[in-house]
Chains A and B, each alone.
Chain A
Amino acid sequence: MSAFRKIAPPVHSVEKIDFIEPEHQLLPGGTSFFTLYGGTQEVVKLDFSFMAGTWFETSKLESMMAASMISEGTSGKTARQIADRIDFYGAQLNSLPYYDNNYVSLLSLKKHLPHLLPLLAEIIQDASFPEHEFEIMRQKRKQRAIVDAEKVGLVAQRTFLRSLMGEGHPYAPISSPEAYDNVTLDGSKSHYLRHYYSANATLFASGDVDAGVQKMIVDNFGSGWGTPFPYKKDQPQIQSAAQKTVFIERESANQNALSIGKRVPTQHHPDSAGLKLVTTILGGYFGSRLMSNLREEKGLTYGIHASVVSFVRDAIFMIHAEVTAEKTEEAIKEIFLEMQRLREELVPESELEPLRSFLLGRMLEDFDGPFARSQSFSSLYEAGLSVGYFDQIIHTIKTTTPEQIRVLARTYLDPETMYTVAAGKK
């Protein structure tokens, strides 16, 4: 076999990533409108982002139900008529609730926009929340929650988040499917009226958004809708559980789910980018230390991951895995051991170098094409960050030293501060 096989081909590092900001205009109704033109097909994606997530609820599930009811009827159209139109033009309409901002997204062929944009405007601006549809939606969501409550992975993650934040915190998930019995039509509709108005919206239009499409968007969404709601929320108290170790018993489980972690600083903190790098080394990619140890070395799990989950007003560091039930103790021990190693030993350059290249490649991917760019910029703006944050990430990936990594690990990966939630068989 040819000699050239014996050595790895030379590689080039990622030199340049195009962080050019999207074109921006402020519409008369107060909506911030960003355009990300590009792509190879005559397809357009519209993403409306409203500051309307669980953070803004007055009681649990209002945001979820408000998002679910957006396409379920307007004063002029029934849910059926709306669904018929969207489906007839082969479009995809999604209205999704999150922790901070909720999204309403439309993916459509460009040629159908003249039919769909007026409909989208009507849905967003004039949702009527019919009772019949609300009850059906509530049952559907509750049944899904009942099934989810049987999945040890979700049980562990949700309990973990409640332990960190406290039951009543807006980022804390509901503790049982019965919470669906308490959410009301009025509460959900109020949530919609208070938060889905034009000046509270940011719009990202990506894909084949030419001047004609831009004009259509301005015609349909420019003049504004809704009544600005004088919203001021007190920073809710974090009430972390006193008990740092929780075991939720599920007799029939043959794998146990583990969620381990703590609250960490938000993306505005100077350590945030560095901490993300440390988390990646620990468990953020296939070659990570946790994957190498627990999966590739010991075969204790199919997958183990560490990540920093960034909310706008908080952030958590979390390790998650589903492991052989009878090896739960061993898995926890190894997870803490890997954190300890990062606090004691310097990460060798032979491990850092491929990781730096890998992360630059993923960063390049985050800006590949209009839809990916739109996603990257909407997350950036939602967090209240500017484009300089991307440069900071690049700088961190390229220059963070093993010594700095150890300092970050010593600061943030102190075992005494970690919460450990396990769900499964004792």
Chain B
Amino acid sequence: MIQFDKTLLKNGLTVIVHTDRSTPFVAVNVCYNVGSKHEDPNRTGFAHLFEHLTFGGSRHVADFDTAVQMAGGANNAFTSNDLTNYYITLPANNIETAMWLESDRMLGPKFTKKGLDVQKKVVIEEFRQRNLNKPYGDVWHLMRDLAYKVHPYRWPTIGLVPEHIASATLEDVKDFFFHHYAPNNAVLVISGNIGSSDAFKLAEKWFSGIPSREIAPYLLQTEPPQTTDRELTVYRDVPIDTFYVMWHMGGRNEKDFYKLDLLSDILSNGSSSRFEVKLVKEQKLFTEADAYLSGENEPGLFVATGKASPGIDIQLAREKMLEEILMTAETSITDYELEKVKNRVEADLLLNEIGYLEKAIQLASFEIMGDAAEINNQGKRYLEITAADLLKTAGELFRKGNRNTLNYLSLQNSKK
């Protein structure tokens, strides 16, 4: 159970406080309701580029990093398809430094041509390092493009192509800021060694003077139900053949999300999972086999993937994995298996209650989805699931027509 207090400032900023007296630190975490899904399809990668830019100083702060260091703190940020999250951790008695910096970032970063030009280069290097210069680095570009035709999840956070990042202008940047960065589009979470009333006072002092802004409307584009299975085969300069099979599933807020999370655990979480026992150890078809959820807030993907053992045909391995998945989905899951994965969830949820920063990030993320209190309902949602529930949901997921297959094959092997 994660206790917290919540209030709403007049300018629309939601403030959440979680007290944890076991640490000498506090985290000041600001989460904006803007991610790559809010981008123009012709200018992707913008939310993430923007995150980089906001570290270049703001109206009253010449240099963010030096200010954080002086206070003995550390700071960072991340951008996902759904949101952009900034955090500073520092000794509790220096919390005002973090409040100063994060409120000034919200008030208005300092944008310069030089700053933009350099960060465009840095982000393009990040693109290269993570997605172009690494074996299997472009898998998510291909998967998203195959699985989504309408929804903006069809491009990854880093962007569709480096050219989109290269073409960003200072005007675009300013425009983006005023349409997305605003108290009425953000959640501030303060966690760690501070009481609620002190934290609320500081939030009022530093954030209440920032005006509300008009937020660009997010036009929800629902992905139409897929009716025909899709398959794409690519050849790349990689040593080992692999595949990714994906099915469309429900969003993070839906009950099915929890069921499918348990199903993916039964299939592949831990050495006693079905994939590990049957596909890796008994049949020796794979050296690695995995099932997981892409995990976005809006309807995402259920993914199954694996690397075949040497000498095993990748198509055969894939068919065997699909058989195993369908068998699990069609026949009964044992009570023992269900109890096992529920025990794992119980342990994982308790472990998630240890770090003051992790708790702040999770509280913010749940609040962006609708309600921070949902963080404490997760356990219940998992525990109430029955084997029959799982089979029903799995049946809907694995229906014919809902499948996308990416065969990611080795160029070298194909020439042999």
Contacts and interface: CB of A to CB of B under 8 A. Distances in A.
Interface of A: 1-2, 4-6, 8-14, 38-43, 71, 79-80, 82-84, 86-91, 107-109, 133, 136, 139-140, 143-144, 146-147, 149-152, 252-255, 285-287, 295-303, 322-324, 353-355, 357-358, 360-362, 364-365, 368-369, 371
Rank and list the top 3 A-B pairs by shortest CB-CB distance, nearest first: A299-B121, A361-B72, A90-B347
Contact of A88 (B20, B307, B339): B339
Name the residue among A1, A252, A295 with the largest chain B CB count within 10 angstroms. Answer: A1
B70 interface: yes
Contacts of B135: 147, 150-151
A8 B100 contact: yes
Contact of B122 (A87, A299, A322): A299
Contacts of A296: 118, 122
B96 A9 contact: yes
Contacts of A286: 65
Given A83-B276, A357-B70, A90 B343 contact: yes
Contacts, number: 209
A356 to B, nearest CB: 9
A41 B71 contact: no
B354 interface: yes
A5 B104 contact: yes
Nearest to B128: A255
Given A143-B287, A365-B89, 18 more contacts: A2-B209, A5-B103, A8-B70, A83-B272, A86-B270, A90-B346, A108-B347, A136-B287, A147-B240, A151-B135, A287-B66, A287-B69, A296-B118, A302-B126, A302-B129, A323-B125, A357-B70, A369-B22
B332 interface: no
Contacts of B104: 5
Given A133-B281, A151-B134, A355-B69, A43 B350 contact: yes
Given A40-B20, A86-B270, A87-B270, A139 B310 contact: yes
B350 A301 contact: no
Interface in B1-58: 20, 22-25
Given A38-B22, A90-B348, A255-B125, A8 B72 contact: no
A295 B56 CA distance: 13
A324 B118 contact: no
Contacts of A8: 61, 67, 70, 97, 100
21 contacts: A8-B61, A8-B70, A10-B96, A12-B93, A41-B350, A84-B340, A87-B269, A87-B271, A90-B346, A136-B284, A146-B239, A255-B128, A299-B118, A299-B119, A302-B129, A354-B66, A364-B24, A364-B25, A368-B23, A368-B25, A371-B354
Interface string B223-262: 0000000000000011110000000000000000000000
Given A86-B271, A143-B288, A151-B135, A369 B23 contact: yes
B133 A253 contact: yes
A206 B345 CA distance: 22
B272 A84 contact: yes
A143 B310 contact: yes
B351 interface: yes
Given A140-B288, A143-B240, A368-B25, A255 B133 contact: yes
Name the residue in B68, B128, B309, B340 with the highest tally of chain A Cβ atoms < 10 Å from its Cβ: B128
Interface in B284-332: 284, 287-288, 307, 309-310
Interface residues on B, range: 35 or more
A324 B239 contact: no
B287 A6 contact: no
B388 interface: no
A6 B336 CA distance: 62
Given A5-B104, A139-B287, A361 B118 contact: no
Interface string B187-225: 000000000000000000100010000000000000000
A83 B22 CA distance: 34
Contact of B91 (A14, A38, A79, A354): A14
B343 A365 contact: no
B23 A358 contact: no
Interface of B: 20, 22-25, 59-61, 65-74, 89-91, 93-94, 96-97, 99-100, 103-104, 107, 117-123, 125-126, 128-129, 132-136, 205, 209, 237-240, 269-273, 276-277, 280-281, 284, 287-288, 307, 309-310, 336, 339-340, 343-348, 350-351, 353-354
B199 to A, nearest CB: 15
A6 B61 CA distance: 8
Contacts of B277: 80, 83
B122 A302 contact: yes
Nearest to B137: A151
Contacts of A88: 272, 336, 339-340, 343
A325 B354 CA distance: 42
Given A12-B94, A90-B348, A151-B135, A301 B69 contact: no
Contacts of A358: 68-70, 72-74
A150 B238 contact: yes
Given A11-B71, A146-B239, A1 B209 contact: yes
Contacts of A322: 125, 128-129, 133
Contacts of B343: 88-90
A90 B344 contact: yes
B60 A79 contact: no
B72 A255 contact: no
B351 A107 contact: yes
A299 B347 contact: no
A351 to B, nearest CB: 9
A136 B284 CA distance: 7
Contacts of B74: 358, 361-362, 365
Contacts of B287: 136, 139-140, 143-144
A83 B270 contact: yes
A361 B73 contact: yes
Given A9-B96, A11-B97, A147-B239, A43 B354 contact: yes
A84 B60 CA distance: 57
Contacts of B97: 8-9, 11
Given A108-B347, A143-B288, A369-B354, A83 B271 contact: yes
A180 to B, nearest CB: 11
A367 to B, nearest CB: 9
Contact of B118 (A9, A13, A297): A297
Nearest to A12: B93
A353 B25 CA distance: 21
Contacts of B271: 71, 79, 82-83, 86-87
Nearest to B346: A90
A91 B122 CA distance: 40
A39 B129 CA distance: 38
A78 to B, nearest CB: 10
